[in-house]
Structure 1
Amino acid sequence: MTMNPLLLDNQLCFSLYSTSLAVTQIYKPLLEPLGLTYPQYLIMLILWEKEGLGLKDICERLSQKPGALTPVIKRMEKDGLVLRQKNTEDERQLEIYLTDHGRSLKTEALAVNACLVSSCNLSLDDLNELKTRLDQLRSQLNSINPAD
């Protein structure tokens, strides 16, 4: 029996796309009490690791263009989550820092992560293996078609 390469259900891209949608739908109600959207949550994850990053650094981590993230970060600043400050060595560069409120959400985010892990109904080993395989796939695809 041969696989029909044009059936939607046989497409890797559709499996990845629909799984991504399902994951973001799980996150939505978990992030609402924190006042975060999913893109804001991703930015917060980066800033909880290291503050004072430039927009370019955050864009690289998320494989996004600055035009896509600038309005998100401006909204986060308006909501009191982050501050944008000029770099002391190069005033053309903005660095992004967490506010006290933004830092305080880190503890609550641990519960969000635990809920997502629980929702997957997979062992931690299986989740880690899946993540590793997806990271390898992304790396391979980026090596063929690197971001601009």
Structure 2
Amino acid sequence: MDKVQLDKSVNHHIALSAIMIKRVFYKILNENNLNITPEQWSILYYLSESANLTVSELAELTFKDFANISRITHKLEKAGLIKKQKHSTDKRISIFFITDTGTKLVNHVHKCAYKSTNISMQGIEPQEREIILRSLKLILINTNNYLK
């Protein structure tokens, strides 16, 4: 029988690291009195990089399901950070874009995300970071392909 040893499991350490990275990010956001979650931040980030995204595009970019994207975008819209409009030719499709208020918040959160990254990457050399990033991207591709 194949048996996983958690102390030697890459998946387990990735999961634990993700939890801790998120906790650090939450703490930094709270220290800066920014009332936003990491999930909301990811939506705002993508809308600030590529204006006018649909629910399905946001879901694909963030690896979240439609229900979660709808819940998050509703909260962001209610807070005045994003706006929703209907597609010009297909009224069933909603398109989201970031507001000026949302853009200002993104600029503040970028600093927090940068600080969070620096905390989690302490002692890791730039070439090691590249290897980690390349490996994590491959893990995302592998797991996403399995789930399709």
In which range does the TM-score fall when normalised by the shorter chain? 0.7 to 0.9
Q: What is residue 132 of structure 1 aligned with on the other side?
A: 134
Alignment TM-score, normalising by the size of structure 1: 0.87
Distance 1:128 1:45, change over 3 A: farther
> Counterpart of 2:86?
86
Matched, 1:31 2:29: yes
Instruction: Decide whether aligned partners of structure 1 residues 60 and 78 sit closer, same or farther in structure 2, where only a CA change above 3 A counts.
Output: same
Say whether the 8 Å CA contact 1:59–1:65 is kept in structure 2: yes
Evaluate the alpha carbon distance shift between residue 130 and residue 96 of structure 1 in structure 2; reply closer, same or farther with a 3 A threshold.
same
Post-superposition CA distance 1:31-52 (Å, at most 9, x none): 2333210100111111111111
> Is the 2:55–2:66 contact (alpha carbons within 8 Å) kept by the matching residues of 1?
yes
- Tell me, which stretches of 5 or more residues in structure 2 are unaligned? none
Matches of 1:73 and 1:26, distance apart in 2: 23
SS in 1 for 2:147: coil
1:126 CA drift (Å): 2.4
Find the aligned partners of 2:126 and 2:43 in 1 and give their Cα distance.
24
Structure 1 residues 128, 116: CA separation in 2 closer, same or farther (over 3 Å shift)? Answer: farther
- TM-score, length basis structure 2: 0.87
Moved over 6 A (4+): none
State how 1:37-48 maps to structure 2 within 5 Å: 37-48=37-48
Report what 1:9 is aligned to.
Answer: 7
List gaps (5 residues or longer) in structure 1. Answer: none
Q: Which amino acid counterpart does residue 128 of structure 1 have in structure 2?
A: E
Inter-partner Cα distance in structure 1 for 2:36 and 2:48: 14
After the TM superposition, which residues 67-106 of structure 1 pair with which residues of structure 2 at under 5 Å, given as runs?
Answer: 67-106=67-106
Conserved? CA contact 1:5–1:11, under 8 Å: no
Identity of aligned residues (%): 17
1:62 Cα offset (Å): 1.3
